[in-house]
A and B are shown apart, each in its own frame.
Chain A
């Protein structure tokens, strides 16, 4: 087992585009989510680490071992493809033992390993089935077992949950997380779903247009995004231009007291954000600036309201115990610490 360090990795893909330079740093045994919209270069970065896309420049280390010039095979890396890539002409068992058979491991050891991995991945009883006779979740587990049985140093998962039904996703996410902890294997998984990334990952790297925007712990990425781009990708943040004037923050929807002014320069308009769950609504009209409810959408545990204040529309999220009607006049509050000024202002 070992950590992973990619320094300024650059690769090119078929259409002539370039990905990178990408730098990643994952401590031993941790799980990192590579998060980004489709076309952001996440999968290509994964392929670069797997040795399937050649590194044009940069260095790749697994622990202290430099693997830049090695083939994927020699790097000792395991990858599970988005469509699982199971061999259709082999049973689950033959698929799982493929790597051992190719290495010419003695049959008795193969059987031992197989029994152990079948238990770990809860696949007992399905050994003799062909891939077409397995459900999506079972295929995923066979693909994981097939890779983990070869004991790779680094595990790469390409969109591990995207082909599963919504009700299976959470189960599979927890299953993968448990498995990853039990093996204590350094893991990178690619996803376009920020909730998936938050749920599974120890660390999150946000990518867009072939470059890394931010790497950090999930709460950091969520609460203190470096740029508006990251904030937009992390969910429905309200982004606006604000101006510090004395102790006040002037915004299109009123004047507020604000903290977190690091990115801002006094008197100059800069980009800020406030998250929907940090805006509190009141039925009474005198608790803060006034606004009108534009729309209400019920989401189960909470209600999402769009409110309009001074012609500016804000997204808010409220507990469902108090409900407001469309067109109702309300007042709202935002605590000073919930304003966030982006350290990187390019938008």
Chain B
């Protein structure tokens, strides 16, 4: 096998890269523009040309100014994503374990049942949950947002971890038993390290979904819980197309995902995985 790409493969790869980076280019340009109207290929007036003259902070100046409320929104986004992911993992790991390894009556029905939230539109779930929370008077808190985010995330999480568990060699666990490991030791030293790559991948999905969910955040948060998604939505719906601030927010909203992706990619590298985990 050759490690060189053929000319055709290079062209295809370039297209692929372009397709992934493509959407980011106009965003990056728009975020540093002052005026960018049709049919100009590039902004006609740049942000820095107007920076001194403007009375209000523009573009990135606005974004980084406390008035944009970026920092609290970013904090909320990260906190919610982290809470949702941890809770989803705690609920999904045992569920996936059973679904993958045990046979029981109604297993198919259970699997379908866990996938149901994916079929119901988010807006219906959102309104329904809102009405329930309203009755209990707990609407508009971080906690209700976290609960709401679990709705679209749990189905994915359970599904991904189930296939992770299906791949896991059961003989390895039997072996740990026979060698004298207790159930907790078996989980800590054998099972967890073996499913860790799957857990990281599922967590990545969870973080991505959580940072991007607008409707549920909006309903449950009651405007009291601001995340990057609600902040962005407010900007996009109030301003014209490709408002520099909205463009900047869009770029920032991708940061938690990219950060987590970088983190997991490092841990998933073979040598780190093989060498760094079990030092118990």
| Total A-B Cβ pairs within 8 A | 68
Which residue of A has the minimal Cβ distance to B276? A89
> Smallest CB–CB gap between B277 and chain A, Å?
6
- CB atoms of A102 and B175 under 8 A apart: no
| Contacts A14-B103, A83-B171, A89-B193; A102 near B278 (Cβ below 8 A) | no
A146 interface contact, C-beta 8 A: yes
CB-defined interface of A83-108 with B at 8 Å, one 1/0 digit per residue?
10101111000100011011100000
A210 interface contact, C-beta 8 A: no
B182 interface contact, C-beta 8 A: yes
- Residues in B whose Cβ lies below 8 Å from that of A14: 103
Interface of chain A residues 136 through 169 with chain B (CB within 8 A): 146-147, 150
- Residues in B whose Cβ lies below 8 Å from that of A314: none
- Residues in A whose Cβ lies below 8 Å from that of B185: 102
- CB atoms of B178 and A79 under 8 A apart: yes
CA distance in complex: A77, B273 (Å): 31
A98 interface neighbour in B103, B181, B182, Cβ under 8 Å:
B181
> Smallest CB–CB gap between B124 and chain A, Å?
41
- Residues in B whose Cβ lies below 8 Å from that of A51: 178
CA distance in complex: A104, B277 (Å): 19
CB-defined interface of A11-39 with B at 8 Å, one 1/0 digit per residue?
00010000000000000000000000000
> Smallest CB–CB gap between A79 and chain B, Å?
6
A72 interface contact, C-beta 8 A: yes
> Smallest CB–CB gap between A46 and chain B, Å?
12
- CB atoms of A103 and B194 under 8 A apart: no
Interface of chain B residues 168 through 193 with chain A (CB within 8 A): 169, 171-172, 174-182, 185, 189-190, 193
| Contacts A88-B274, A89-B277, A89-B278; A78 near B181 (Cβ below 8 A) | no
CA distance in complex: A14, B170 (Å): 14
A50 interface contact, C-beta 8 A: yes
CB-defined interface of B253-280 with A at 8 Å, one 1/0 digit per residue?
0000000000000000000011001101
Given known contacts A79-B175, A85-B172, what 18 new A-B pairs fall within 8 Å (CB)? Answer: A51-B178, A72-B178, A73-B180, A79-B178, A85-B175, A87-B176, A87-B194, A87-B278, A89-B193, A89-B194, A89-B274, A90-B278, A99-B179, A99-B180, A99-B181, A102-B180, A130-B274, A147-B179
Q: List 24 A-B contacts (CB under 8 A).
A: A52-B174, A72-B177, A73-B177, A79-B178, A81-B175, A83-B169, A85-B169, A85-B174, A85-B175, A89-B193, A89-B274, A89-B277, A89-B278, A90-B278, A94-B278, A98-B176, A99-B179, A99-B180, A102-B176, A102-B179, A103-B180, A130-B274, A150-B179, A150-B180
Which residues from chain A sit less than 8 Å from chain B, CB to CB? 14, 50-52, 71-73, 77-79, 81, 83, 85, 87-90, 94, 98-99, 101-103, 130, 132, 146-147, 150
